[in-house]
Every structure is written in C-alpha cells, then in structure tokens.
Amino acid sequence: MLDDNVPQPWQGQTTLVFALAACSVGLGNLLRMPYLIGEHGGAPFFMGYVFTVFTVAVPVLTAEVMVGSQGRGSPLGALRWATDQSGRSVSWSLLGLIQCLLGVMLAVYCLLMASWMVDRAVVLNLDSLASASAAEVATSFEQLLIDPTYALPAALLAVTTVLAALGPRVAMALIGWVALPAMAVALGSVLQFALQFGDLGTAADWLFAVNYSDFGWEGAMAGVASGVLTLAAGLGVGSVFGARSPKNLPLFRAVIAAGILDVSFMLATAVALLPLLGAVNTLPAEGLAFLFIAVPYAFANLPLGEVYGAVFFGFTALASLAALLALMEPAVMLLHHEGGLHRNWAALAVGCAVGVGALLLHLFLVQAALLPGSLDVAILLSLLLLTVFVAWRMPRPLARGELYREPRWLFDVWWLCLRFVAPLALGFALFWRLGVSGS
C-alpha cells in the first residue's frame, strides 16, 4: 500500500491510455500535419511519420512513464530516485526541472490557442462570417490579435487552475474520461459533414498521393520531427502520469495504445478538414493561417458550416485545454512535493505564471500571427537527454523490473529502439531543426 505522502494511483490501464492520448491530441500537429503531408509526397511522408511515432516517440514516452512509475513523485523527484538507484550523478535529475519549465512554456501556447479557438467557435456559431471572403476572415482574426479580449483566456485559465488544485486524480480523470470521448464525438460529426459536403478527390490527392520526388531530406526530417513531438514526451507529463498508474500495468503497451489513438485522431482531423478546403478551392497552408483563416473560411462558405465549424473549434479548444491541464501538473507537483507548497497555492502559482507568460507572448511575439518554433529545439534536446540517461546510464535490470509485465521480446524491442533508433533520430531531428531555426 502507498502511504498518504505518495500520489495515489489510478485504477486501470484505460485511464492511463486515455489521459496520454488526450494530452497528445491537444499537443498534436494540427497546425502543420495536413500541410506537411501533401507538401512532402503524401503517403511516403505519412508512413515515415508513423514509423517515427512508434520507434522513437512511443519508446521515449514509455521511458518517461517508467521513471515516473518508479519514483512516484514530481519529474525532479522521480529522476533523483532513478539516479540514486542507478548510481549516477544527481545532476541528471535537473532534467526533471527542465521538463517542468518546458511544460509551463508550452502551456502558455495552449492557453492562447484555446482562447482563439473558443472565439472562432462563437463567431462561426453567430454566423458572423457567413459567406465571408478569405480576406474578411483574415481581417477578423487579425483584429482578434490586435485587440484581444483578455476576459476569455483569464476565464479559461481560472477554470483550469481550479481543476489543477482539485488534485491529479480528478483532473486526469476529466482529461481521459470526459475530454477524450467528447473530442471523439465532435470529430466524428465533423468528419461526417466533410464526407457530405467536401471535395474528397482533392483531399485524397493531397493526403494519399505517392510522390517520392517531393519526399527528400527535408520531408524525411520534417516527418521525424513531427513524429517525435506529437506525444508530449520530454515535458514531464509522462512522468506524472506514470506516478499515478498502478504498479502492475504493462506500460509499454499502454503507451503504444495511446500512440495509436493519437495517430488516428491526427489522420481523422486531416481527412475531415482537407475535403472542406477543396470544396471552396483553398489550398492547405501551414501554421495559424491554416487553422484560423483557411478552415473558418471553408466552414463559413458551406451549408450548415456555422454549426459544424463551431463544433470543430469547440473540439480543438477542448483538446488544447486538456493539454493545458496536463502540462501544468508537472510544475504543480514540483512546487507541492519539492517546494513544500500546499497544492492549492502551487496550482495558483503555476496558473499565474501561465497567465503572465500568455500576456507577454501575445504582446510581443504574436503580432505577425506566428508562433515561434524555438521550443521545438529545447524539447528535442530534453528528449535526447532523457533517452541517453534511461538507455545508457540506467541499468537494464532496473528498467526491466518496472516493465516486467511486458513479454521479453517486446521489452527487447523497446530497449533496442531506445538505445539505438531514438538517439539517432533525435540527433538528426535536432540538427535539422537547428538549421531551420538558424536560416
């Protein structure tokens, strides 16, 4: 039995799978994947992305969940326990602190995205963009950036902070058992709408074409980077989820299931959106222009688009809020367990940090409607350090003891991927991303 000072676990594997999947859906590649698939050869790019998810992202996230399950504490505390058991320098545990900081920084983006998505849902539902031109839709979004309503993100952050203060079991149960099913229902309705009113031929040509001439070094590296970053590994979320999972779960298989759900949501979202853009003769773009200009324009110019557009942006807002809540948890746990703060005060402190960060980001970095990509480099570096520690510094028997529920052959596959495939892929992705950022 765990004592009162140790986070009490969830009951059952499904909660862990659903919570991991809901968080990864919220952190997925909605801004980039539909564009990147067609830009880099269609099916070859998608297959490379899926291969990376299951040979790099899933093994690394499993390692993070395993460390959390062993240490039963914050990311910092769990890694400190792992370094003690492995006989390694305690300096490795500082990676847990870095993960918490990265999680808070990414939570800032999630808060802004969620508030913009709620705003677009309301605008579409009120039919304010009915039959609007692309220029009018762009002007509407630009006005939101120039003259924002601070009450909406403040309200969303307040609700999220209260949920974080209620405790991880309540918050993560809501993520897994309320947010994810609601997202699935909403996405299913939008997909049905796309099949009825969208241009399926155009979408199929963009998503499923086999064009190897467009799949070069850039396409391969973009697929690797996207596959690595999709599951929210390296941000402490897997560690705190693992700290709350029952000790007898097959963790690797649970993370594989979460990866399958994440890829399914990503593909279903792309299949739902691309036919709508084809129906209004709009090509996919990358970044905020795709999600907040091209997509609202498509909904605004299709029958019943105001209804389904509101449903779609409600789904994406819910995904972002689920990710926001999950990303706040590592820092809340750090302040609570390592800093000695009461959980309510820890949640309030993290919520204030996210709010101030969102305000500063909006004031100084979002005027051009572009989110900076520098966080990708920091997350990739965090993933690489975590991989090196678990695969090369932690004794294999220690890892096997936590993953004892996995068949021997499956454990060996995980170990080989973590030792050889993941470091190589992460190194290439980091090198490529540094080159992109510097150019």
Domain boundary assignment for the chain: 13-438
3-state secondary structure 193-220: HHHHHCCHHHHHHHHCCECHHHCCHHHH
- Write the pLDDT tens digit of every residue in 224-235: 999 998 888 889
At residue 10 the predicted structure's pLDDT band, cuts being 50, 70 and 90, is: low
- Rg (C-alpha) for the chain, rounded Å, is 21
pLDDT tens per residue across span 194-240: 999 999 998 888 888 888 888 888 999 999 999 998 888 889 999 99
AA identity, residue 125: N
* Torsions phi, psi for 127 (to 5 deg): 65, 30
pLDDT at 168 over 80: no
Q: Pick 9 or 85 by higher pLDDT.
A: 85
Q: Are 68 and 239 in contact (CB under 8 A)?
A: yes
Q: What is the pTM of this model?
A: 0.93
Q: What angle do CA 18, 313, 257 make, to 5 degrees?
A: 20
The pLDDT value given to residue 11: 56
Q: 48-80, pLDDT tens digit by residue? A: 999 999 999 999 999 999 999 998 889 999 999
CATH of 13-438, one of 3.10.450, 1.20.1740, 1.10.3470, 1.25.40: 1.20.1740
- Helix, strand, coil % in the chain, rounded to nearest 5: 80, 0, 20
pLDDT in tens, 351-399: 999 999 999 887 776 544 444 467 889 999 999 999 999 999 999 999 9
Residue 249: predicted pLDDT:
87
422 to 162, 215, 310: CA distances (angstroms): 37, 21, 39
